[in-house]
Copies of this chain bind each other. A is one copy, B any other.
Amino acid sequence: MKLLQELIEIDATSSVPVYLQISNAIIAGIRQGKLRKGLKLPGTRELGALLEVNRMTVVAAFQELDAQGWIELRARQGTFVKAVPPLLAPLRIMRQTTPAGFSETVGFSYDKKRILPVATSDFQSTHRLVFNDGFPDIRLAPIQELGAAIRNLSRRSVNRKYLQYGGAQGTLLLRQTLAELLCDTRGLAVTPENILITKGAQMGIFVAGSVILKPGDEVIVGKPGYNMADITFRQLGARLNEVSVDGDGIDTAKVEQLCKKKKIRLLYVIPHHHNPTTVTLSPERRMHLLHLAAQYKFAILEDDYDYDFHYASRPIMPMASHDSRGNVVYVGTLTKTFAPAVRFGFIVAPADFIQTATYFRKTVDTQGDSFMEHAIAELYRDGTLTRHIKKSVKLYRERRDHFCDLLKAELPGHLDFTIPDGGMSVWARFRADLKKVSPRAFEKGLVIKDGTSYDSGRAKYNAVRLGFASLDLKEQEQAVGILKGILGTV
């Protein structure tokens, strides 16, 4: 305890948040060998009192340390310093660091504040129970099949060519495969020239945004909306116009009013399972948006990140499939189909746009992993991924039903939600203050966000996406059980 008090010096005048000052000091202590593996850290209340900071600040520091992999939380036992992997012998690094003196801060001038801060390691935790933002269950990911596909490819020397530089637009075989698939399942009559392979939907948003937007351009987003898209557009210098989202999706009458007032360059929309609210954009509003886009010549960036996961009836066809005038840039991803760590997505748009986007993408990272793209294409072609999607949809539908039943039965009066037609999460509006619920749940072994990342400006929802797809039925019961215990006392 005394040691921790010595290690952690809090500078109230610093621009570094206090919780980060605490976590950084603890990391330094671990690295210097002062805090050894297996050391039990004091409880958050105790450490808070010792450092004279709010207990919530200590919890935030522990969440950060947990996300970065420095500590381990054992239920009913406490918080422990984790083993530092053997390669990073702490003393050795320190010994080598000192003489050469790698600088801790930059010596050149640049405008650091231009880059917007974002959470860079959310949802990483050693906790077994995590309500993530709506991610697939990685225990189901067809990673063995991917490994086998890579092995099969690598056995035949003719496939070695896929290890050489390919094109920035993506492997032709994967583009052909997706063109066929999008044709058959989403009514998108496209050819490989209409497709750019990206690293996940996020790169689709970034590349499309970079190509379309100039600093000062006006963009329409939903409110509430997808935080990372908003940050990306702001990072690109765009001005954000927030339009409210109701049970039928984004309010297109308000979009029309905005179009009459200013030159809108781009509208970002998630028509299926809107993030965060999970609502589906109604067919009337889809047509209205397409009509407005044609009239006012703006781009619709249609983010259809989990089209494959629809439980109610048939999913509604993407807006892009009804767009004969070239107003829609359509973004999809394989992240939800496969696994978040397997980064594949795509942009679908008129061929001239795809060519321009490909130019830009080449400056970002040259090209994708073409060998892997080829392996993914093979998994589509031999039916593996289609079978995997079918199996997952069946399982996730069960999990959704079970989870919604649980919420109704166990937490009546504590939260409001609508059963989602698809996707992997429930948008839950809480009565109790989530900023209090979140740290308490964390201490009991359950990760649940405090909801602030969904807020925007003055709009506070006190709501959170409860990802149900990655928890099996028993884990759902445990997680809801923990919540029930907390909500009864907050």
What is the interface of chain A, defined by CB distance below 8 A to chain B?
31, 67-69, 85, 87-88, 93, 96-112, 114-118, 120-124, 132, 135, 138-139, 141, 143-144, 146-148, 150-151, 154, 157, 160-169, 172-173, 176-177, 179-180, 183, 187-192, 194, 198-200, 202-203, 206, 211-214, 228, 231-232, 235, 265-266, 293-294, 297-299, 321, 323-327, 339-343, 349-353, 356-360, 362-372, 381
Contact = CB atoms under 8 A, between A and B. Distances in A.
- Stoichiometry (number of copies): 2
Nearest to A212: B110
Nearest to A322: B100
Contacts of A167: 67-68, 120-121, 124
B96 A359 contact: no
A265 B352 CA distance: 34
Given A202-B365, A365-B343, A366-B343, A191 B106 contact: no
A235 B363 contact: yes
B87 A381 contact: yes
Contact of A232 (B169, B298, B340, B363): B363
A487 to B, nearest CB: 27
Contact of A356 (B112, B124, B151, B200): B112
B106 A350 contact: yes
Contact of A102 (B109, B116, B190): B190
A179 to B, nearest CB: 7
10 contacts: A68-B167, A88-B180, A101-B189, A106-B352, A116-B363, A120-B358, A147-B147, A235-B363, A341-B372, A343-B366
A403 B298 CA distance: 55
